[in-house]
A and B are shown apart, each in its own frame.
Chain A
Amino acid sequence: MKFKCIIVDDEPLSRSFLERYCEKQGNLEIMGSFPDAETAFHYLKSNEIDLLFLDVEMPGETGFDLLDKLLYMPKVILTTGKTDYAFDAFQYNVSDYLKKPFPFTRFQESINKVTETNNKEKAEATKEDIFIKAEGKFIRLNYQDILYIESVGDYVKYFTDSKYYLTHSTLKAVEEKMKTKHFMKVHRSYIVNLNKIEDIQDNSIVIRGKVIPISKSMKPEVMGRINVM
């Protein structure tokens, strides 16, 4: 499978390098190469891609401004001349962070990481249920029965219509397992089943009467993943 990708960087030499690296890599199909966030956004409004190579500091809008506007979140590899954006990179859950200039071997590592994550997500997507350790035993939960998951200190609570299950885990570990199953982390303390959302207002989601906050950075992806008329 080839990843459809685009490059967004105002610096022509950097774009040229990435284009050549993508060609050498073999499993990447370059759909476009853009000098700024605005033209890239125009393309992304009507085209879906798998992978975005994104510079941060560009004239006009920054790379993060572009991510804020996207209605869906492709895999993102930041390509920047600075290391100052590590915290933002973490917040936006980017796949990797390449400090320019980088050799081809480092680029390959990055693509391998994206491919591995993609394969794991696909494998998880074929499963219908999950076993969680709660109440002293392993309990099978069907993904469709889970409404949302809440982080409580060192534990997470899986909420279903009838009850909740408390397990010793982290939301990050749960997210890794469930993000392709119509589940999405919408806040540092919540993962929700997108199929169970009753309404969305401002920066909150309602599921079975429970009001769940949405982080500002996650709102565009939430809106992109639900079926808005």
Chain B
Amino acid sequence: MKNIPFSFDLRLDEEFLESMYEGDVEHASEIFSLFIDMAPGLVKDIDESFAHGAVEPLRSKVHKLKPTFSFVGLTTLTKNAEELEEKCKGTSDISDIKDLYNELKNNYSQSFPIIEKELERLKNQINQGV
């Protein structure tokens, strides 16, 4: 484990990230990298479920993605996902969840580039700390 001083982007939940990684930038880098590899595929699956009007499969996928957002400091997206998951439980009509789905999608699209940049910064920090 490598504890190197690092300040996360202020648009991320820095306090939460610190409680998760406790200065372990290598671990943070691993997780941010995994997120970048995985999240687009999971979001695509959610889009497909939405396009097919399949509420329960969508709920199940959102449930899986929910904690993943927090692992990279996107705690607001975890809350969005929580609300969407709850809404899915009470309906089988896809139009009932449209607004929450769009909110999650928009927030995700805006946040993904931040995570990509943050991964670059983490990698640079590790290289400088060697």
What is the interface of chain A, defined by CB distance below 8 A to chain B? 10-14, 16-17, 20, 24, 57, 81-82, 100-101, 103-105
B71 pairs with A17, CB closer than 8 A:
yes
Interface membership of B1, Cβ < 8 A: yes
A20: chain B residues within 8 A (beta carbon) = 24, 27
How many A-B contacts at CB < 8 Å in the complex? 46
**A12–B30 alpha-carbon span in the complex (Å):** 11
Please tell me which one of the listed residues B1, B22, B30, B68 contacts residue A11 in the complex, with CB atoms under 8 A apart.
B68
Partner of A13, one of B19, B24, B31, B63: B31
Which residues of B are found within 8 Å of A17, using beta-carbon distances? 20, 31, 71
- Do B71 and A104 have beta carbons less than 8 Å apart? no
Residues of A within 8 A of B22 (CB): 104
- Inter-chain CA distance A13–B31, complex, in Å, is 6
* The one of A10, A16, A103 that contacts B64, using a Cβ cutoff of 8 Å: A10
Residues of chain B from 45 to 71 with CB closer than 8 A to chain A in the complex: 60, 63-64, 66-68, 70-71
Chain A residues closer than 8 Å to B114, beta-carbon distance: none
**Which chain B residues in 61-105 approach chain A with CB under 8 Å?**
63-64, 66-68, 70-71, 78
Asked if B1 and A24 sit within 8 Å, CB to CB, the answer is yes
Closest residue of A by beta carbon distance from B70: A101
Please judge, given known A-B contacts A12-B38, A13-B31, A103-B19, whether A57 and B60 are in contact too, CB under 8 Å.
Answer: yes
How far, in whole Å, are A84 and B51 apart by their CA atoms in the complex? Answer: 28
Q: Which residues of B contact A57 (CB under 8 A)?
A: 60, 63-64
Bound: A146/B87 CA distance, A: 53
Interface bin, chain B: 20 to 34
Report how far A10 CA is from B20 CA in the complex, Å: 20
Contact residues of B with A, CB < 8 Å?
Answer: 1, 16, 19-20, 22, 24, 27, 30-31, 34-35, 38, 60, 63-64, 66-68, 70-71, 78
Q: Which B residues are in CB contact (< 8 Å) with A10?
A: 64
Q: A82-B63, A104-B20 are in contact. Are A16 and B70 (CB under 8 A)?
A: no
Nearest-Cβ distance from residue B127 to partner chain A, whole angstroms? 21
A177 CA to B42 CA in the complex, in Å? Answer: 47
Residue numbers in B under 8 Å from A81 (CB-CB) = 63-64, 66-67
Give the contacting residue for B19; candidates A11, A100, A105; CB below 8 A.
A105
A-B contact list, 25 entries, CB within 8 Å: A10-B64, A11-B64, A11-B67, A11-B68, A12-B34, A13-B31, A13-B35, A13-B68, A13-B71, A14-B67, A14-B68, A16-B31, A16-B34, A17-B20, A20-B24, A20-B27, A57-B60, A81-B64, A100-B70, A101-B70, A101-B71, A103-B19, A103-B20, A104-B22, A105-B19
Q: For residue B66, which residue of chain A has the nearest CB?
A: A81
Q: In whole angstroms, what is the CA distance A24 to B20 when docked?
A: 12
Residue of B nearest to A99 (CB): B67
A12-B34, A24-B1, A104-B22 known, 9 other contacts, Cβ within 8 Å: A11-B67, A12-B38, A13-B35, A13-B38, A17-B31, A57-B64, A81-B64, A103-B19, A103-B20
A54 to B19 alpha-carbon distance, docked (Å): 22
Give the docked Cα–Cα distance between A176 and B22 (Å).
36
Q: Give the residue of B20, B35, B38 whose beta carbon is less than 8 angstroms from that of A101.
A: B20
A103 cross-chain contacts in B, Cβ below 8 A: 16, 19-20
> Nearest-CB distance from A50 to chain B (Å)?
24
